[in-house]
Chain A
């Protein structure tokens, strides 16, 4: 009888062995499918109803905007083929003819007008409303020409009309008008892929659109999978479960650069920088102190040690591919002795103590970069007391203009008006700096359409920013993707995934 008591244990051991013996070691997939792993799933399939880049990555395969960007960050035609400014308050777009939505509806001026009218309607509550809020109206000139009217000259219009302005994705008017909620679960666009199915939090499956106006995509199927945990994304990549794994940490780059996988990386449009609160009483109100901090931190060393040298050093708070960025601009060099003498000159020979307001774990290596900065500042006598806030609390504090001391906000934008105006113009709620001379230039820059004139305006603004040092500009961090070694695909600086030209070799 006692022997019988072993039976359950034995049974379990046997069945476990059988279980693993049964497993098929191959779950690799064919070259007709690109599987993309990114941290989160789509929130909706309606491009105007969300505020998340992972969702936008999926939307951009299904929909097109009027313009798009090329690898260098230059705007190029998409559903609009050319554009001009008949007067400073009008942007006139010629539209591509012969384009059809996935359901057969024609793309035309009516579709453009419908798209913006819908997203601009306050009742619609588009989360990314602010990106298109400058549009006063869309007027149909003829079937393939539209005028986009603004109340004031709006030089950054193309940023409001390309895919990173989520609500600018063109939707089919008849389909959407007939059932306003249909797009959220059954999307219809003009894009290179058509919708197949969406298993929530598991996968979004798309199929190539053979009639795509830009040419049928080379790969037949696309699957987007949400995988939050980075180790799991890497495991999926190395076990051939996915072909593109987004958001790879720099320390995993060497191990993924060989064998079955490779790395694709590009410096992003996102800017790491420190802003100094010059509005409240503190040593940071003194220009010499701000310059001293710029001299005290060895940004190149931080970039090498923490980001493996990836990313791009910036001289001012602007991505290097932004409008008006002059490659001749130089950041402050690392010179701790100079920093100390400037601090002494400013009246702080023994340094001072200052707060740091930031979030942590939000951007790649943010906490580590801040820790390193605190170390460099300690070397010149500045004691930094960090205050790390949870993102929701950060938002509440920011609204009350409560960021203090040295601030690590992060920002993005490929035009000085999109970067400097909100974070440096006097009185803007996220600006902790005030300088009437700079304000005049920033006002002029946003009221001028002529690119050459704008460039010269921002050149002057740049000179002020360099001397006044309201920020310590650091770098644009890299976007790092792990790829199947056979996949040919180029990442973009704005982090939006474009699979139009992706193919296996």
Chain B
């Protein structure tokens, strides 16, 4: 269907549009017009991706700027899905418009997924593929070949040079599969085609890391122009991604490897000195001049800033004491040796970068200045030495990045040395965590560079947390509810077991037999009444294991066994995927299955249990993080000191977003239905922190239930759902046709006009005022009802 938002014609590839999709697109357009960042929460399974893509494509094609879209998603399957949707959209557009638009969209993923080279693609590990690919495609390898030396080249990569550099692939949308197929047919490397075509693409779809991880962003994304529209989809975990991309863990083993790398480099330098001293001299004189070239490029505003290479560093020359290659190697060795001595401690240490630096200086006379240049200097050296097997130097690179970061940032980072893996362990296995505490550092270059950054997901509540944590201001911040023609999902909070005792996974009572038994009966009851699939989420693997073993002892598992096949998620990815496969098969056949999994595990993120794969989801306990972790403690303290976010607020926010994420797994569309149960007494007070769309659908009478009542409710609900439901019933309410949109627009316009003239009739005023009040004083609501009830009692 085709409709207009203001003056923008939007082509939507489906005959109906959901009201929330329409609202989403309107807000998106406002944001793009205003030129700022926004945070949008849209219920899962309401076609977020397609509305986003169809609006932005329309925007791109209609306005003369043709702003590029960078769409970042989390997993490969999501990237593939988005590309497929985009393909469908473009097909629809060309059918509607009657001609093909000049349009290119590509997805980018790792070499491992795209490689075509017959021997390289058979490698299993991603790093090995990267390294081998580099050894076949690097610039100096080709130079060597031209000089007549006998080196291997990748024919797929070589073929690219024969093509026009800006027309490696024809216009159109390529899914990752499609791109590999095209590469196979034309004997060209899909990975490099995608990377080199990035400047000429209208839409690029790739993973977060290509934009947020400074090491990758430096290579892949730095040439993107300023007016790009950046979208982070499924972004509820974006703060963790930011933090992970700047955190470094060093173990004894990696330090040993780093030493080996340094020794290798030393040997290489000696070799080069005897054969090609000129090259080293060239590098040296270049360094004397400073990193000015890089600076020039940045001044011209070509590149995105890099947190590992701060701006002021570019303006200076490399300090004299690491200018010469051999001095730099001895410098690195000293630094690594120092880290090794630090590893020998037997108690946990947590310290700030400045105090680390002072101690470092006392012991080894390494100053801050040269440390800051470490990463850059190492890159330059590696380039000069023309090393082929870069993967050997990975640990060394890590140490150098660590050095640069520790010397650059005083605040927002903490060093934590943990000598033992767990508290019970006696054999030391020290790990030096260099942890980023401030999510804003990694995302800052992105927010600064691009004028429109859109953060969107199904679960972003509370919305104001994200701008606070990531350090930016929004022009639009909106949460949409779900319009439904019938109540298709039933969220409930169970606070008491069937014996009226409270249930909770809080540390004090989680192993109490009564609580475990109550949870057991809850699961058994739901296994009994729910058709097909049931998913149960636990707060942690540890708790899941203990509770399952206790259930085994109580005979609860045997009871569940009567109704469903039981499957369990494990930390091992392959085992879990097998379990998932079996679960799906079991859901399609017979009585269905029950899947036990963990709220922070793989299943809770990105795996959908649509339709009969998930008719009920149970969240056993509040999925809090493990609060004794030092890293988490440091982060909490940082958040409190710098962003005024209280420890408990953050912990509960984090737990609730994971819980909401789990609940969202079962509802993947408007014709889908499912029961959502939150089983913990603490959920009752955390209810306002749930996303708006879940919260709205929850009746007040369903927030404090015992197991029996919940089961009775669910039974009723499932019986209603079993009634035939025609898609016609949804029309005009939860799906809109063009006429509905027009009606809505006309109504809105009329209302606006009336507001402008100040002729608000009393009825309408009465309607509007409470609605605004309700937002401000949400707390009143419940009490009003309570008060009414009391009045009734009195009469």
Q: Do A and B originate from a single complex?
A: no
> Which residues of A are interface residues toward B (Cβ below 8 A)?
none
